[in-house]
Amino acid sequence: MMIGRMEEDYEENGGCLGNLLLGIVFVGVVIWLAKGFYDDYRYGEKKPFWKGTELVQVCKTPYSSSSDCYQLDVKLIDEKTAQINFKNGGYVFTYDVTCYFTTIYQYGKAIRYVFCRSWDEDNQQWDFLPSWVNY
């Protein structure tokens, strides 16, 4: 009689332990997936921050501050190609537009925004920032 009861307790406790382990694995998988989505959102490639033709801060490397950049009309042809229109009527096509989040600190406050990087046919790097950014 006593042995039968011990076997029943063992099976019941083993079932609880199995459910507990299954729950822990499930929670772990959910956390892992959530972290992956968050990392992709935060660090993954973004879409360009403008559409059509807009006034954009354009910086040709090398540059060290916004004073080395220009406010120019940039036409986004597709998500990977842009046309920089210069004030003298000239223009340059850039390719491989890639965009990411970045952060600047103004007045002790962190401000996140999307910036984009691209290259022309001479492999010169061009960066595109929203016109309001001043660093």
Q: How many Cα atoms sit within 13 Å of 47 on the Cβ side?
A: 6
| Widest distance between CA atoms in the chain | 99
Q: What's the CA gap between 132 and 25, in Å, rounded?
A: 46
Per-residue pLDDT tens digits for 8-36:
555 555 566 777 777 777 777 767 766 65
Per-residue pLDDT tens digits for 66-118:
889 999 999 999 989 999 999 999 999 999 999 998 888 878 888 889 999 99
